[in-house]
Structure 1
């Protein structure tokens, strides 16, 4: 029997390698019910998750023996979670395969990483986020296992949490839900939507807004950032963020973002101007730098927010005063140390300050050069040194004075 999604040589090798219970689980089974191919969101390659009742490493060792060295491109074991990642090349086509020992999870501290112990296939399905991801396809028989009604939920186009504490245990499930909602056209079913609202209102996590950002639990910090990056960079982000806001879940980041109605325009501008979308989203928080620290944004994005906030402060301090009226003066401001083109772009995306001069600088003024080059001035007899640089700046300023504001 063939199982769609698993290349025939791999399926035969898996059946030969293990006599126990092995099942295809997760997104591949869900997408199979929707007649879709499940791909890794970052690499776009077929991505298969297998669960085995027994040691994953034992199954992989037997599988490698069956497949031979030419098929396996990479093999990496994660002993703490009983998982092994494989990258295979089947008939010249790459396939990603994650093999995991069936396990159960408990959350002694909400939003922290779970405690893991090994279990059976039923335990492994029960620990998942939504019913649509809690189905399995047994490799030996091809039987679909659906103990939580995922297939019916797919038919109803709805997302249903597996238990009443799902959001409390792991609030990033809401972001994953928004990704599925946008990609597959699903919506939280009423009881799950009520759970989300009640949990967010109660805020059952020990860390609260205003506490030191570095002390936030993983599901309100780094894991939340990773899910948001997937949402913004690999999904229809407008529909996904709209769902998050509809569910009240942008409050996981900041109440100001939950109340913000300008993020679609801001993110569209960020997309046009080549800005990191998560930094553009975070910019509307009450304290963007604290949120950036909590999410552990990359250094470049943190620096961008610092530069943009400084530019915003400078412009706000001059509200009601005479702002520069000449292109050369705007260039002196926007090209000063501590500013950057990306900071100006973020100011444009956020509607910071007077739009016209910022946009003209972005589109034209920063490209204006002096009428003579350094080589021209040296050929005319000027000596290298600070005077040369000053002369080039003066010549550029002369050209900028001809530019309209």
Structure 2
């Protein structure tokens, strides 16, 4: 219980449900606590009437209550903190990849049966401390193994294949259900659901992308050109890790796939610009500082970061030094000297090149370089 009590907001959660029978902490929180780690959050499941428990809990902590009667769940918010209570449920799938049909009124054992992996199919009662686990869950936790609960698990919910890569990277566990992986199952799931899991995977260690490549999941999501070539200490993370895997994918096709997966415009632009810019510039930044500036001056910083992560010395020079060089003159100086329109920008470019080449260290030299004689 000590790791559970140390979880963010645990003092509020535990006070809210104190004395309520049938309340369990479930899933990853129990997994992490049994490993002696502090969970990221406490997920609660109630055997019985979860909405009644939620109403009592909201009164105890003076919180506001939002009820989702159709799903048997409720959210309690107090101050800046919020937590959920869910009724124990059974789930069935009408077809592969479909959202589950939910039936409330289940036991905690039946609720655990809907979990993704055995190490997440564990619950501890807050009433009496009783631990309930799926058969083999403790052994898999002790041995560091990720195992699905049954052979149809990925058919029922193909996004679990992405979760397998995510948890394997985070926990350092060995996946044992690889024979059941079928990237073709992604065709039964909406792009938004797949994209949501992929976005969560961006937060995990870079080795998760290695699994996507090895298992064929990356190709199924983003195209056959998906490749993992950068799993080194210099490798990027987050959106740049995704871009690094997509450098061989055509710009338009990559944008379309990311749009299908529900990535927001800003994130799509970062991935597409970084990936396509890398393919265009990699290996061409071995010139002088002025040459590198000419090539990178209009590129996104993320593109240059990706190039540097791949060991491109010119990109690293740009990040460390070149981009920080500043002129002693401004556009106002050139306007005062009689330049207008595009000529102002062209003059500043000439001055910057002269500065980087060592010909114009000061204001007067830069003005001479900027203004045609």
TM-score bin (small chain): 0.7 to 0.9
When residues 112 and 283 of structure 1 are mapped into structure 2, their CA distance, relative to the original with a 3 A threshold, is farther
| Partner Cα distance (1:375, 1:48) in 2 | 58
In 2, are the aligned partners of 1:371 and 1:396 still within 8 Å (CA)?
no
When residues 229 and 24 of structure 1 are mapped into structure 2, their CA distance, relative to the original with a 3 A threshold, is same
1:335 is aligned to: 297
List runs of 5+ in structure 1 lacking aligned partners.
Answer: 40-46, 208-216
| Partner Cα distance (2:276, 2:163) in 1 | 34
In 2, are the aligned partners of 1:105 and 1:116 still within 8 Å (CA)?
yes
2:121 is aligned to: 134
| Partner Cα distance (1:4, 1:348) in 2 | 40
List runs of 5+ in structure 2 lacking aligned partners.
Answer: 360-373
1:253 is aligned to: 221
Q: Does 1:303 align with 2:269?
A: yes
| Partner Cα distance (2:106, 2:164) in 1 | 25
When residues 358 and 34 of structure 1 are mapped into structure 2, their CA distance, relative to the original with a 3 A threshold, is closer
Match of 1:264, SS? Answer: coil
| Partner Cα distance (1:309, 1:168) in 2 | 32
In 2, are the aligned partners of 1:131 and 1:162 still within 8 Å (CA)?
yes
Q: 1:345 aligns with which of 305, 308, 311?
A: 305
Give the TM-score taking structure 2 as reference length: 0.76
When residues 105 and 360 of structure 1 are mapped into structure 2, their CA distance, relative to the original with a 3 A threshold, is same
| Partner Cα distance (2:120, 2:85) in 1 | 16
1:346-365: CA deviation from partner (whole Å, max 9, x where unpaired): 445468xxx45544444444
When residues 342 and 54 of structure 1 are mapped into structure 2, their CA distance, relative to the original with a 3 A threshold, is same
Q: Does 1:262 align with 2:236?
A: no
Q: 2:54 aligns with which of 50, 60, 78?
A: 60
1:193 is aligned to: 178
Count matched residues. Answer: 351
Quote the offset at 1:300 in angstroms.
Answer: 2.0
2:367 is aligned to: none
| Partner Cα distance (1:174, 1:250) in 2 | 11
1:86 is aligned to: 76
The 5 Å alignment of 1:102-117 reads 102-117=88-103
Quote the offset at 1:343 in angstroms.
Answer: 3.0
Give the TM-score taking structure 1 as reference length: 0.71
Q: Which has the higher contact order (CA 8 A, sep 6+)?
A: 1
When residues 310 and 95 of structure 1 are mapped into structure 2, their CA distance, relative to the original with a 3 A threshold, is closer
Match of 1:23, SS? Answer: strand
Quote the offset at 1:394 in angstroms.
Answer: 3.1
1:34 is aligned to: 35
When residues 323 and 340 of structure 1 are mapped into structure 2, their CA distance, relative to the original with a 3 A threshold, is closer
When residues 145 and 389 of structure 1 are mapped into structure 2, their CA distance, relative to the original with a 3 A threshold, is closer
| Partner Cα distance (1:341, 1:13) in 2 | 47
| Partner Cα distance (1:280, 1:300) in 2 | 17
In 2, are the aligned partners of 1:371 and 1:395 still within 8 Å (CA)?
no
Match of 2:97, SS? Answer: coil
Q: Does 1:393 align with 2:361?
A: no
When residues 250 and 340 of structure 1 are mapped into structure 2, their CA distance, relative to the original with a 3 A threshold, is closer
Match of 2:139, SS? Answer: helix
Please provide the CA RMSD for this pair: 3.8
